[in-house]
Amino acid sequence: MKDIKALVAQMTLEEKAGLCSGLDFWHTKPVERLGIPATMVSDGPHGLRKQDEEGDHLGINDSIKAVCYPAACATAASFDKELIGKMGEAIGESCQHEKLSVVLGPAVNIKRSPLCGRNFEYFSEDPFLAGKMSAAYIQGVQSKNVGTSIKHFAANNQEHRRMSSSSDADGRTLREIYLPAFETSVKEAQPWTVMCSYNKVNGVYASENPWLLTDVLRKEWGFEGYVMSDWGAVSNRVKGVAAGLDLEMPASGGVNDAKIVEAVRKGELDEKLVDLCCERILNIVFRYQENAKPETPWDKEAQHAFSGQVAADCMVLLKNEGDVLPLNKADAIAFIGEFAAKPRFQGGGSSHINSFKTTSAVEAAKGLNVAYAPGYSVAKDEATDEMIAEAVKAAKAAKVAVVFAGLPDSYESEGYDRTHMQMPACQNKLIEAVAAANPNTVVVLHNGSPVEMPWIGKVKAVLEAYLGGQNVGSATVKVLFGDVNPSGHLAETFPLKLQDNPSYLYYGGEGNRTEYREGVFVGYRYYDKKDMDVLFPFGHGLSYTTFAYTNLRLSAKEIKDTDALTVTVTVTNTGKRFGKAVAQLYVGDRESTPIRPVRELKGFEKVALEPGESKDVSFTLDKRAFAYWNEAIHDWHVETGDFTVEVGASSRDLPLCDTVKVESTVELPRHYDLDSIFLDVMNDPRAKAVIDPFISKLMAVFAPPAEESDAAKEAISEDMGLAMLNYMPLRGMLSFGANAGPEEIEALLKALNGN
């Protein structure tokens, strides 16, 4: 390993400043006289978008032929860490083959609203799931000695005004919802690089935000790699260096490099900070170079087949009335909808991959008794009467009609948001017509984010295939005909309508400011708290077999917040086919001072089971599983009390529930003063003991004992008296007859504060 510090010491200030921005769109700068090579980075995340010639970051110019895997909207639904790890390995191998030092992904931003144009690239509305899937992907890629760039750090949850908007959220919301996927990935998988986002966070550009890039990312989480900017995300480069932004991408024609030099010369920027950026960049440059294996083979055909396997394991069977699926291979089947012949399998923008081949469902169904009618035209966004008539005819002639529908490219993409949650009207019309012609209608969906389904009551089954990569056609046919048993589960809630979404009123914000006013109540955290009906809940996914969850065992009924709790359940395949269950564990605080969700995902495992087979699944819950972010102590805190531990097949199908008492080992600071109210004092066991004697005096006034005044007792019971006292400030003791003078109260406050 090179002595990086010694190398940096030999560089001129100009060379160092130069190294802090890209050579071109995709390379870091070389310093030939010192043997520092240029290294190449490339999008990402679900395959390679390596551009050979003209560079751009919007997927406009061609890139090399590669393998397009399912996008994150799909892979998250697999709930399968091992699978996404293997996908990462395959992508890592292709990076080695193509001499790429870093693949730009995974993208882990939280799906705050179904409208975000980039939801297809993101994993989930849930930070725990997003973090675990991301960590598995990173470990997979990096096991091949190439880096990842987890993005977009942070709170980049809309495309609208993405380069100027400020995501304004309180500390607890950031810590509990928008940061943990990054945190888990850094702590568990140590990505080689992090990509900061375009937006501001609480008024400060992510690219020059010392709190994000240094305090949280490096000091708290221990990130060791380099931070690069999203493409063009730099506003003030000098502030960026000071904040911990190592590499500006792509480059600013030397302008920002010169500003760094000038700031150092003027004494406005410590040269040591520039050195640090260089060291971090060079560590990764050489880590790649010393482990480069360009001789690594890239078997695209094998990866094409593998991408189909991944896609099949991501598909979510949302509805299957009367077991209309799986289809029978002997039956006449109609595939209707242009997506059956030309699937939408990836999203638009920087992640767009130039697939070396694609397999549609129509192609994959060759040899089966499957007829095809296009039904609608994606390019024209229309379904003519003739197209519908042809589709209806095909549907009538078939035992089962399968409509392939969803969102065309123009409806969702990087760079802009959706304005509604509907599918194209022509497709909805087609589904209605087909369902009226054939009672056995199935809908296959290709979309990157939830859609409204006005026809849901009229179709027998819905298979959510998401954007399943270039081999999605074979995967779909395998799942439809039962060669693969669907095992995906929703990584996001499908609300009944857009207006139900918690961010609905505030999403997009006003001007350049988006306030995250729904706080921690994102996705199911909100729908569950409000006990709302949804179209399909978070975690939902059916199978062609059935599973039973039994025998919930907790390693203890009472623990301290420093202990770990082991939770074990038995999952049994009670049906007749091999299948994979996703055991999901949720934790909820039964009673809490902070306003908290009813339940939060804290564990999940995918379990493969033969018919009749049972397996035990264990989860380990540590302090974090019970904690909320406490801004006062600037740390995670568990409030002593009872917590529910629920296990089952979705956030709304949780047959197993038990309770564990968790005791806090942390004393929260006490700040009682004259304006503190009795309720807060009495809820704190340490303070209650101190105040109790005064309470009886006050109660004599608020709810006099019966013998003294029968009339008063009738008017105010003891409970009522206490209830009224609850909201009185301590200073009330001066006025309401606790016989306490100022000195006594002073002493009381000291005692309450533990002094």
- Report, in Å, the least distance between residue 231 CB and ligand BGC: 4
- Report, in Å, the least distance between residue 104 CB and ligand BGC: 4
- Report, in Å, the least distance between residue 216 CB and ligand BGC: 21
Identified binder of ligand BGC from the candidate list 29, 151, 200, 478, rule CB under 6 A: 151
261 is an interface residue for ligand BGC by CB under 6 A: no
Based on the number of CB atoms within 10 Å of its own CB, is 755 exposed (0-12), middle (13-18) or buried (19 or more)?
A: exposed
Is residue 230 flagged as an active site residue?
Answer: yes
Residue 458 near residue 432, CB atoms below 8 Å: yes
DSSP-derived 3-state class of residue 729 = strand
Cα 201 to the center of its chain, rounded Å: 18
- Report, in Å, the least distance between residue 44 CB and ligand BGC: 6
DSSP-derived 3-state class of residue 663 = strand
- Report, in Å, the least distance between residue 130 CB and ligand BGC: 16
> What is the C-alpha separation between 520 and 517, in angstroms, rounded?
9
Stretch (H or E) spanning 477: helix 472-480
Structure tokens at 19: 């190294």
Q: Which residues contact 605 (CB under 8 A, 6 or more apart)?
A: 582, 583, 617, 619
Residue 205 near residue 233, CB atoms below 8 Å: yes
Strands 614-621 and 400-406: unpaired
> What is the C-alpha separation between 755 and 751, in angstroms, rounded?
5
| Residue 133 or 437 having the CB closest to ligand BGC | 133
Structure tokens at 116: 């975000």
Quickly count: other Cβ atoms within 10 Å of residue 79's Cβ.
Answer: 31
> What is the C-alpha separation between 464 and 443, in angstroms, rounded?
8
Structure tokens at 367: 């040899």
User: Measuring CA to CA, which residue among 337, 343, 374 is closest to residue 357?
Assistant: 343
Residue 58 near residue 349, CB atoms below 8 Å: yes
43 is an interface residue for ligand BGC by CB under 6 A: yes
Residue 19 near residue 28, CB atoms below 8 Å: yes
Residue written as tokens 């949804």?
A: 534
| Residue 104 or 475 having the CB closest to ligand BGC | 104
350 is an interface residue for ligand BGC by CB under 6 A: yes
- Report, in Å, the least distance between residue 224 CB and ligand BGC: 21
Residue 34 near residue 18, CB atoms below 8 Å: no
> What is the C-alpha separation between 702 and 725, in angstroms, rounded?
8
User: Measuring CA to CA, which residue among 507, 577, 639, 85 is closest to residue 326?
Assistant: 577
DSSP-derived 3-state class of residue 103 = strand
User: Measuring CA to CA, which residue among 178, 70, 158 is closest to residue 114?
Assistant: 158
Spell out, one character per residue from 51 to 70, where the chain touches ligand BGC: x when CB under 6 A holds, - when not. Answer: ------x-------------
Residue 325 near residue 461, CB atoms below 8 Å: yes
Q: Which of residues 90-149 bind ligand BGC (CB under 6 A)?
A: 104
230 is an interface residue for ligand BGC by CB under 6 A: yes
Residue from 126, 230, 500, 528 carrying the catalytic annotation = 230
| Residue 22 or 588 having the CB closest to ligand BGC | 22
Residues in the chain: 755
Q: In 582-662, where does DSSP find H-type helix?
A: 623-626
Residue written as tokens 């396997």?
A: 309
- Report, in Å, the least distance between residue 599 CB and ligand BGC: 32
Quickly count: other Cβ atoms within 10 Å of residue 77's Cβ.
Answer: 30
Structure tokens at 737: 């007859």
Residue 155 near residue 180, CB atoms below 8 Å: no
Long-range contacts of 748-755 (CB under 8 A, 24+ apart): 748/690, 748/691, 748/694, 749/672, 749/673, 749/674, 751/690, 752/670, 752/672, 752/676, 752/681, 752/687, 752/690, 752/691, 753/670, 753/671, 753/672, 754/670, 754/686
Total residues binding ligand BGC (CB under 6 A): 8
Which backbone phi and psi does 117 adopt, to 5 degrees?
-60, -20
| Residue 59 or 424 having the CB closest to ligand BGC | 59
Residue written as tokens 């063009």?
A: 232
Residues that bind ligand BGC (CB under 6 A): 43-44, 57, 104, 151, 230-231, 350
Question: Which residues are marked as active site?
Answer: 230
